[in-house]
């Protein structure tokens, strides 16, 4: 099965590959550089979901594939503060998108103040942790959980939710 992912981010690509492998499903993963259609820093669940769906749909427009995956990270406001959020979408031609979301943590004030002033989480985290390309490695979640949960692991969880729903839909259609 040919699976496109609307990203060239190594953490996202590896999450897609590992999730299918853990479920013993053989796939060929094709990373594609496609637009999300949302801001560089999605600032709500709705915007983050929209970015994931549009990444997947944009893959379908560019290549003959079986399914397309969009994974998007963002932040979402609550009465307790700004949290990281991550959403995924699995899209097949002619069918409604399958959508799933993952873990969240509330970000510290020194991060949220910079995000609210218009900065993007990736560069803010690089500066905060004095590292480079955190978004392609452990992510903010990895920094703030002391490496116990990484960005890749969050996206693997989302992928399992997507694959499970995909399998269930296929079972119900047969």
**Does the structure show a pLDDT above 80 at 85?**
yes
Confidence band for 174, pLDDT divided at 50, 70 and 90: confident
Residue 133, pLDDT above cutoff 90: no
CA-CA distances (angstroms) from residue 68 to 4, 75, 137? 5, 23, 22
Mean pLDDT for 118-126 is 92
Statement: residue 135 has pLDDT above 90: no
Q: Taking the alpha carbons of 10, 37, 119, 109 in that order, is the dihedral positive or negative?
A: negative
pTM of the model: 0.92
């Amino acid at each position: 099965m040919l699976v496109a992912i609307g990203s060239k981010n190594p953490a996202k690509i590896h999450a897609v590959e590992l999730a299918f492998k853990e479920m013993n499903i053989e796939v060929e993963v094709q990373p594609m550089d496609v637009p999300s259609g949302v801001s560089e820093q999605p600032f709500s669940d709705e915007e983050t979901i929209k970015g994931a769906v549009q990444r997947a749909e944009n893959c379908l427009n560019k290549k003959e594939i079986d399914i397309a995956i969009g994974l998007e990270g963002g932040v979402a406001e609550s009465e307790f503060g700004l949290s990281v959020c991550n959403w995924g979408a699995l899209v097949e031609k002619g069918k409604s998108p399958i959508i799933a979301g993952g873990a969240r943590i509330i970000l510290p004030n020194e991060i949220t103040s910079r995000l609210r002033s218009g900065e993007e989480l990736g560069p803010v985290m690089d500066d905060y942790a004095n590292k480079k390309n955190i978004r392609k490695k452990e992510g903010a979640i990895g920094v703030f959980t002391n490496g116990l949960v990484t960005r890749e692991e969050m996206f693997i969880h989302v992928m399992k939710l997507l694959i499970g729903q995909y399998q269930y839909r296929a079972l119900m259609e047969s």
